[in-house]
């Protein structure tokens, strides 16, 4: 009979035995059926520049006349926006009233050029912002400033006209007093007589100066009255009167009519006509 060694403990046993006499392990081990290994394809060769090549931008042809956004002209649009923004805080110093129309016009011109030539001119958003801020300054701030400034300007103009009228009245009254004491031999003279005597300038013959009209009246040969009244309510408010009868300056709001003896005397502490300027 043939023998066989135990694959576990190397003891020689009869080939007819199923287990080893020493380790009791099976002597006959059936070989397992080998499974074919799965097919693994060989790695393909990849060049080193493949990654950079795959991420490179793809060239796309542009139409004729195309220009990049970075090269569009935006000077007018930026100037419009800057002028519009600057005009807001400077409007109260009257500088913004000059900058706002310029920014508004530049913004409109920039928008028109951007619409006609979009491949050359850009910055349409800047231009619209400049138009909006300039319009806000000009159409909102200007009426507010005008509502505050115009009444003050008109009041200052009326005050200046009253001061000029009193100065002219004072000159004409002084000329009447001088004329009575010299050429007139105690009698009053009209405006032509005063101009001929070179006691008043020739332009006084018009009897209108700086929004006021003037008049010389003679209640009698010895009493002369010099009057001044505003031509309209926008040029002045009060009417004035000086007479050689009482040497008193009278002033009142006569709605454009001349003052009379019934009107109250004007105080000497008036800023436009002090006591010092009334004495000769």
Which residue's entry shows tokens 């332009």? Answer: 203
pLDDT for position 63? 55
pLDDT for position 59? 52
pLDDT for position 131? 92
pLDDT for position 234? 87
The token duo for 234 is 């926008």
- Please report, for the chain, the start and end positions of each structural domain, with discontinuous segments joined by +: 71-153, 158-278
The three state secondary structure string of the chain is CCEEECCCCCCEEECCCCECCCCCCECCCCCCCCCCCCCCCCCCCCCCCHHHHHCCCCCCCCCCCCCCHHHCECHHHHHHHHHHHHHHHHHHHCCHHHHHHHHHHHHHHHHHHHHHCCCCECCHHHHHHHHHHHHHHHHHHHHHHHHHHHHHHHHHHHHHHHHHHHHHHHHHHHHHHHHHHCCCCCCCCCHHHHHHCCCCCHHHHHCEECCEEEEEEECCCCCEEEEEEECCCCCCCCEEEEECCCCCEEEECCCCCCCCCCCCECCCEECCEEHHHHCC
Rounded Cα distance between 213 and 57, Å, is 86
Q: Would you give per-residue pLDDT tens digits along the chain (280 residues)?
A: 677 788 878 778 777 778 888 888 887 766 554 555 666 666 665 555 555 445 555 555 555 444 555 578 888 889 999 998 998 888 777 777 788 889 999 999 999 998 988 888 888 889 999 999 998 888 887 788 778 878 888 888 999 999 999 999 999 999 999 998 888 888 888 899 999 999 999 999 899 988 999 999 887 767 889 999 999 988 899 999 998 888 889 999 998 899 988 899 987 656 554 443 444 3
Q: What are phi and psi of 52, to 5 degrees?
A: -65, -35
Query: Does the domain at residues 158-278 carry the CATH identifier 3.30.540?
Result: yes
pLDDT for position 143? 80
pLDDT for position 37? 61
Rounded Cα distance between 165 and 186, Å, is 26
The token duo for 52 is 């950079």
pLDDT for position 268? 63
């Amino acid at each position: 009979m043939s023998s066989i060694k135990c694959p576990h403990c190397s003891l020689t046993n009869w080939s007819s035995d199923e287990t080893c006499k020493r380790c009791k392990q099976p002597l006959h081990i059936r070989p397992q059926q080998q499974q074919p290994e799965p097919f693994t394809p060989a790695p393909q060769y990849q060049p080193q520049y493949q990654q950079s090549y795959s991420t490179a931008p793809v060239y796309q042809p542009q139409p004729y006349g195309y220009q990049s956004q970075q090269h569009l002209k935006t000077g007018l649009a930026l100037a419009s926006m800057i002028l519009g923004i600057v005009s807001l805080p400077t409007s109260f110093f009257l500088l913004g009233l000059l900058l706002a129309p310029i920014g508004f016009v530049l913004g409109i011109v920039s928008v028109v050029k951007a619409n006609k030539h979009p491949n050359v001119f850009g910055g349409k958003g800047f231009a619209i912002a400049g138009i909006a801020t300039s319009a806000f300054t000009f159409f909102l701030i200007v009426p507010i400033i005008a509502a505050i400034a115009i009444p003050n300007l008109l009041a200052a103009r009326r005050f200046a006209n009253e001061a000029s009228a009193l100065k002219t009245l004072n000159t004409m009254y002084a000329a009447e007093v001088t004329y009575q004491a010299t050429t007139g031999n105690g009698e009053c003279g009209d405006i032509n007589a005063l101009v001929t005597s070179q006691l008043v300038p020739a332009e006084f013959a018009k009897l209108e100066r700086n929004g006021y009209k003037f008049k010389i009246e003679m209640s009698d040969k010895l009493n002369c009255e010099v009057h001044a009244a505003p031509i309209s309510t926008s040029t002045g408010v009060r009417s004035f009167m000086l007479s050689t009868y009482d040497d008193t300056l009278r002033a009142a709001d006569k709605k454009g009519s001349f003052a009379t003896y019934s009107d109250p005397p004007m105080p000497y502490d008036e800023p436009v006509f002090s006591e010092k300027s009334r004495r000769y």
